[in-house]
Chains A and B, each alone.
Chain A
Amino acid sequence: MTVIDTPGTATSITGWTQACRQDYLIPGRGVAVLLKGGRQAALFLTADGTLFAVGNIDPFGRAAVMSRGLVGDRGGVPVVASPLLKQAFSLIDGRCLDDESVSLPVYAVRVENGVVAVSNDPLVFQGGTA
């Protein structure tokens, strides 16, 4: 099992939801994953082959669209821009780079036998809330 390197320490992961085969993902393009429990994650494969998952609901627009945002970087930080009003969110810790008071939950991602799975609960970061 490979747990993709995500900063912060996950304190509770209560299970995983399988998303799709890794080779189904297109670099730079997201997919939405319906997690067990009803949450939604936006799963991305970036150009360098890293997998990230953040909450799918845009906290500004309150619609489940983050997986349809464009992926890239801002000053080297991998980000996704909301397709609604284009705010950028860090894929590493979910914080919004345009408004520090807002952030997306971050989900752990693992790959097993070529299948990508996303944690059902968001990661809890040390020293703060995700």
Chain B
Amino acid sequence: MERKTVVVVGHGMVGHRFVEALRSRDEAGAWQVVVLSEEKLAAYDRVGLSSYVGAWEPSALALPGNEYAGDALVDVRLGVKADAIDRTARKVTTSSGEVIGYDALVLATGSYAFVPPVPGHDAEGCFVYRTLEDLDGIRAAAEAAGPGAVGIVVGGGLLGLEAANALRLLGMTPHVVEFNKWLMPAQIDEGGGAILEKLVTELGLAVHTGVGTSAIETVAGAPVSERLSVKFSDESELRAALVVFAAGVRPRDEIAKTAGLEVGPRGGVITDLGLQTSDPNIYAIGEVAAVEGVCYGLVAPGYSTAEVVADRLLGGAGEFPGADLSTKLKLLGVDVASFGDAHAKTEGALSVVLHDAAKGTYAKLVVSDDAQTLLGGVLVGDATQYSALRPLVGRPLPADPAALISPAGAELGADALPDDAQICSCNNVSKGSICGAIADGACDVPAIKSCTNAGTSCGGCVPMLKKLLEQSGVEVSKSLCEHFSQSRAELFHIIQSTGIRTFSGLIAKYGKGTGCDICKPTVASILASTSSDHILDGEQASLQDTNDHFLANLQKNGTYSVVPRMPGGEVTAEQLITIGEVAKEFGLYVKVTGGQRIDLFGARVEQLPLIWKRLVDAGMESGHAYGKSLRTVKSCVGSTWCRYGQQDSVGMAVLLEKRYRGLRSPHKLKLAVSGCARECAEARGKDVGVIATENGWNLYVGGNGGLTPKHAVLLAGELDDETLIRYIDRYLMFYIRTADRLQRTAPWQEALEGGMDYLKAVVCDDSLGIAADLEAAMAKHVEGYRDEWAAVLEDEGKLSRFVSFVNAPEESDPTIGFDDSGERKVPVLLGIPDIPVAVAPQLPGVTKVAESATHGK
């Protein structure tokens, strides 16, 4: 067989993909490949160019396999440019003077950065943003100018914003100049652009839209940081150290033009869908190709063109399939997504827009004239719905378009999604492959995880996996654990109606086995929610997770942290001094928590009662900063001091914290009270958020942090104190009685059949007729509450449990160590040290010591 030669001009991402595709399919070795690369580096990830900033490590961007090591059929010539094509003789002349004959020629020359013809555009200090060398030059200029110097980016598109971020990372003050009225005009609309501008401005970028650059002049004698004077179309002027042009790219088609190939009116080598140019032996791929007249400036369509040509050279008949120009990216940490007909160019297309300036999000859906079909959309600030919406383009809408983009609106159900919808974006797993796994016998979430990888990274898609299981008819077990087939809510009802007050009694009658770390704390919580016994009383003590067990937070080295209760965040000077003294005396690390409290870290078990005693004496409780219980009620300053305050938020926060302290629930509970709509207490991020208005309190519920943060939603408005408390009582008790184990308030609310309307009816209108019962249950809790830590101090039996060793109550655990040498006290995990220790002879409950202790080795 006679081997043929294909010459590839250009070794960018697409050129490399072509070589890979050809070599992996050309099993017979029909083609010898010669690659000419003008850059001295083999193909690298140009899309990831910005990640070069900071590390400055070119090899990190190298594309895998770009050396074709050991492949005799690929010959890469770096730093060699193709100068001319002789189509008649089928020969390429290179910059090194060589002449290479070809059977097929593939143009993969890509594009060059477009520099607008501004006078002075070639002054020293002017750059483009295209290659690693460009970035090296920008870096040198930025460093010469010093920190804070102004750098101007001409162009506010995707690349311009990337360039601006690079300047920011280099310590410069970036200004972005965009000729259009808004940023990223190619991808997003004016409304999205406005939000994007606001968001990036907050991140330190200066943005000038609707402005052209009219001249760049070098200022004689000026310092490097101000060596350029840049003049704009609005007559303004800026002094800058450097200018980066990121105003778009143009196909590098000059070699094709010279060779007489047909090019498009706006550049690009014209090809058919097989990527064949006007010369049948020459193909064009990637950004230099104008496929049926259209150039695509994205890597994904470029890769498609490479695959098509590899197929064609091996006798296939592949055609360019068209391109999905949807994009989702994080620019400077801001989510931006654009998909389908984002600009509503389809005839009769309608737009539905949700513009939340306060939250900094913009969402637009473009739908057909009958509002039945999704055509495209734009998401700025929050693009979480992108993966669910993009696959729906061209298909019927599953719900009202406004509901699909509204934060409180419909979450897209599993059945609304087509098979190619990406469910797990971390591992790129589609709905189709998950449903396939379920059909093949995966019957629970762990099984889906192990056969598809979905849900194994961030876990954000696990709720969707459950929905898919439910939808496919797999019954997702509601059993609490292997010992109880009931759900938490069912166990709650059993305990409530039977009056069983022991775990052993409950498991004997309603469960099996001896329990575990799932059901025991759950039952402990239910018992605590239904009575006011001390949580360490009798058998109940053995059900508590370690935090409730020792009434403090377990830290990684086995010590505990103590967070004194400061209701509403209020504290007296005397109390602060006590906290400081305790910290000093016990050598504790001190940190202010996220909930306006003071956390004291590093207490040994035996120190806990001593610390509590000091706090009790100063009028403080230890505080529930642990367990599934009320943590804190955060507050702002309120009307007493704040000139904007409309109500006494501190007073209300103190009242609420005292009312609900000690309340055990399915998950931890946090509350906050803000004194006005400025929301300084961030109340809408809490399970219960109270915000003052001039006419009373607005009550928000179901704000959660965690993996999928949710804002609280309005339950009732303009309430007086009494109604507010009554509604919170009902809400919390209804949650405690009906939620699943570890189910936070937001998912609980969402899972309620009938949703918020139902919840409002239950809480505000008493539609179930249980309001009095819920209030009574809460009243019982409030009345029965006692300081749990003080109760331990008063009880010798309980107190005796607070030792490191049952047989050596005076000993501290010798494995606990700290590193005090740095600014921050750090626990040191020692492993298992072999330290000789004296064993104290006094054993609890032992009157006569049968065997005297000796010193160990």
Q: Which residues of A contact B806 (CB under 8 A)?
A: 19-20, 24, 31-33, 43
In the complex, are the beta carbons of A34 and B517 less than 8 A apart? Answer: no
In the complex, are the beta carbons of B521 and A70 less than 8 A apart? Answer: yes
Residue among A72, A83, A117 with the highest chain B CB neighbour number at 10 A: A72
In the complex, are the beta carbons of A33 and B805 less than 8 A apart? Answer: yes
Chain A: which residue is nearest B843 at the CB level? A20
Provide the A9-20 mask, 1 if CB < 8 A to any CB of B, else 0: 000000011111
In the complex, are the beta carbons of B556 and A61 less than 8 A apart? Answer: yes
In the complex, are the beta carbons of A63 and B545 less than 8 A apart? Answer: no
In the complex, are the beta carbons of A72 and B845 less than 8 A apart? Answer: no
A47 with B514: in contact, given A32-B804, A63-B558, A83-B546 (CB under 8 Å)? yes
Q: Does A64 touch B at the CB level, under 8 Å?
A: yes
In the complex, are the beta carbons of A35 and B856 less than 8 A apart? Answer: yes
In the complex, chain A residues 58-104 whose Cβ is within 8 Å of any chain B Cβ: 61-65, 68-76, 78-79, 81, 83-84, 86, 88
Provide the B823-841 mask, 1 if CB < 8 A to any CB of A, else 0: 0000001111111110100
Q: Which residues of A contact B545 (CB under 8 A)?
A: 70, 83
Q: Does A26 touch B at the CB level, under 8 Å?
A: yes
* Chain B nearest Cβ from A110, distance in angstroms: 12
Chain A: which residue is nearest B838 at the CB level? A34
* Chain B nearest Cβ from A59, distance in angstroms: 9
Q: Does B642 touch A at the CB level, under 8 Å?
A: no
Give the contact stretch, choosing among B343-351, B418-426, B847-855. Answer: B847-855
Q: Which residues of A contact B754 (CB under 8 A)?
A: none
In the complex, are the beta carbons of A70 and B517 less than 8 A apart? Answer: yes
Residue among A70, A74, A86 with the highest chain B CB neighbour number at 10 A: A70
* Chain B nearest Cβ from A64, distance in angstroms: 5
* Chain B nearest Cβ from A116, distance in angstroms: 9
Chain B: which residue is nearest A27 at the CB level? B542
Distance between Cα atoms of A58 and B112 in the complex (Å): 59
In the complex, chain A residues 1-53 whose Cβ is within 8 Å of any chain B Cβ: 16-21, 23-24, 26-29, 31-40, 43, 46-48
Give the contact stretch, choosing among B79-87, B435-443, B810-818. Answer: B810-818
Q: Does A109 touch B at the CB level, under 8 Å?
A: no
In the complex, are the beta carbons of B845 and A78 less than 8 A apart? Answer: no
In the complex, are the beta carbons of B856 and A78 less than 8 A apart? Answer: no
A71 with B556: in contact, given A19-B806, A38-B834 (CB under 8 Å)? no
A36 with B515: in contact, given A18-B846, A28-B542, A74-B482 (CB under 8 Å)? no
Partner of A75, one of B482, B504, B542, B556: B482
Q: Does A57 touch B at the CB level, under 8 Å?
A: yes
* Chain B nearest Cβ from A44, distance in angstroms: 10
* Chain B nearest Cβ from A42, distance in angstroms: 10
* Chain A nearest Cβ from B459, distance in angstroms: 16
Q: Which residues of A contact B835 (CB under 8 A)?
A: 38
* Chain A nearest Cβ from B816, distance in angstroms: 8
In the complex, are the beta carbons of B856 and A76 less than 8 A apart? Answer: no
Partner of A36, one of B543, B831, B839: B839
Distance between Cα atoms of A46 and B844 in the complex (Å): 20
In the complex, are the beta carbons of A36 and B846 less than 8 A apart? Answer: no
* Chain B nearest Cβ from A87, distance in angstroms: 10
Chain A: which residue is nearest B521 at the CB level? A70
Q: Does B808 touch A at the CB level, under 8 Å?
A: yes
* Chain B nearest Cβ from A106, distance in angstroms: 15
In the complex, are the beta carbons of B837 and A72 less than 8 A apart? Answer: no
Q: Does B557 touch A at the CB level, under 8 Å?
A: yes
Distance between Cα atoms of A69 and B856 in the complex (Å): 27
In the complex, are the beta carbons of A37 and B546 less than 8 A apart? Answer: no
* Chain B nearest Cβ from A115, distance in angstroms: 6
A70 with B516: in contact, given A20-B807, A28-B543 (CB under 8 Å)? yes
* Chain B nearest Cβ from A20, distance in angstroms: 5
In the complex, are the beta carbons of B845 and A63 less than 8 A apart? Answer: no
Q: Which residues of B contact A37 (CB under 8 A)?
A: 856-857
Q: Which residues of A contact B837 (CB under 8 A)?
A: 34, 38
A18 with B851: in contact, given A37-B857, A71-B542 (CB under 8 Å)? yes
Q: Which residues of A contact B845 (CB under 8 A)?
A: 20-21, 23-24
Residue among A32, A75, A115 with the highest chain B CB neighbour number at 10 A: A32
In the complex, are the beta carbons of B844 and A40 less than 8 A apart? Answer: no
Distance between Cα atoms of A12 and B259 in the complex (Å): 90
Q: Which residues of B contact A21 (CB under 8 A)?
A: 843-846
A68 with B549: in contact, given A38-B814, A73-B515, A115-B850 (CB under 8 Å)? yes
Q: Which residues of B contact A38 (CB under 8 A)?
A: 814, 833-837, 856-857
Q: Which residues of A contact B550 (CB under 8 A)?
A: 68
Distance between Cα atoms of A115 and B844 in the complex (Å): 10
In the complex, are the beta carbons of A73 and B851 less than 8 A apart? Answer: no
Q: Which residues of B contact A57 (CB under 8 A)?
A: 815, 831-832
Q: Which residues of A contact B483 (CB under 8 A)?
A: 72-73
* Chain A nearest Cβ from B19, distance in angstroms: 44
Distance between Cα atoms of A20 and B808 in the complex (Å): 10
In the complex, are the beta carbons of B805 and A36 less than 8 A apart? Answer: no
A27 with B539: in contact, given A70-B521, A73-B514, A76-B513 (CB under 8 Å)? yes
Provide the B194-214 mask, 1 if CB < 8 A to any CB of A, else 0: 000000000000000000000
In the complex, are the beta carbons of B520 and A70 less than 8 A apart? Answer: yes
Distance between Cα atoms of A61 and B845 in the complex (Å): 32
Q: Which residues of B contact A84 (CB under 8 A)?
A: 554, 556
Partner of B546, one of A23, A26, A69: A69
In the complex, are the beta carbons of B829 and A61 less than 8 A apart? Answer: yes
In the complex, are the beta carbons of A69 and B844 less than 8 A apart? Answer: no
Q: Which residues of B contact A129 (CB under 8 A)?
A: none
Chain B: which residue is nearest A85 at the CB level? B556
Distance between Cα atoms of A32 and B805 in the complex (Å): 5
In the complex, are the beta carbons of B808 and A63 less than 8 A apart? Answer: no
* Chain A nearest Cβ from B800, distance in angstroms: 8
Q: Does B325 touch A at the CB level, under 8 Å?
A: no
Q: Does B541 touch A at the CB level, under 8 Å?
A: yes
Distance between Cα atoms of A113 and B801 in the complex (Å): 22
Partner of A17, one of B516, B801, B836, B839: B839
Distance between Cα atoms of A76 and B514 in the complex (Å): 8
* Chain A nearest Cβ from B776, distance in angstroms: 32
* Chain A nearest Cβ from B268, distance in angstroms: 57
Chain A: which residue is nearest B811 at the CB level? A34
Q: Which residues of B contact A61 (CB under 8 A)?
A: 556, 829
Provide the B210-227 mask, 1 if CB < 8 A to any CB of A, else 0: 000000000000000000
* Chain B nearest Cβ from A72, distance in angstroms: 4
Distance between Cα atoms of A78 and B845 in the complex (Å): 27
In the complex, are the beta carbons of B805 and A86 less than 8 A apart? Answer: no
Distance between Cα atoms of A86 and B541 in the complex (Å): 18
In the complex, are the beta carbons of B513 and A34 less than 8 A apart? Answer: no
Chain B: which residue is nearest A35 at the CB level? B856
Residue among B517, B549, B813 with the highest chain A CB neighbour number at 10 A: B517
* Chain A nearest Cβ from B353, distance in angstroms: 46
In the complex, are the beta carbons of A74 and B516 less than 8 A apart? Answer: yes
* Chain B nearest Cβ from A112, distance in angstroms: 7
Residue among B514, B554, B839, B844 with the highest chain A CB neighbour number at 10 A: B514
Partner of B514, one of A24, A46, A63, A115: A46
Distance between Cα atoms of A47 and B541 in the complex (Å): 13
In the complex, are the beta carbons of A19 and B542 less than 8 A apart? Answer: no
Distance between Cα atoms of A65 and B483 in the complex (Å): 25
Distance between Cα atoms of A47 and B794 in the complex (Å): 28
In the complex, are the beta carbons of A26 and B558 less than 8 A apart? Answer: no
Q: Which residues of A contact B831 (CB under 8 A)?
A: 57, 62
Q: Which residues of A contact B856 (CB under 8 A)?
A: 35-38
- Sample of 10 more A-B contacts, CB < 8 Å, known A18-B846, A62-B830, A73-B516: A17-B807, A17-B839, A36-B839, A38-B814, A47-B514, A61-B829, A65-B558, A72-B516, A74-B482, A76-B513
Closest 3 CB pairs of A and B: A28-B542, A21-B845, A83-B546
A-B contact pairs, 8 of them (CB 8 A): A31-B805, A34-B808, A36-B854, A46-B514, A47-B514, A57-B831, A61-B829, A63-B558
Residues of A bordering B, CB below 8 Å: 16-21, 23-24, 26-29, 31-40, 43, 46-48, 57, 61-65, 68-76, 78-79, 81, 83-84, 86, 88, 112-113, 115, 117
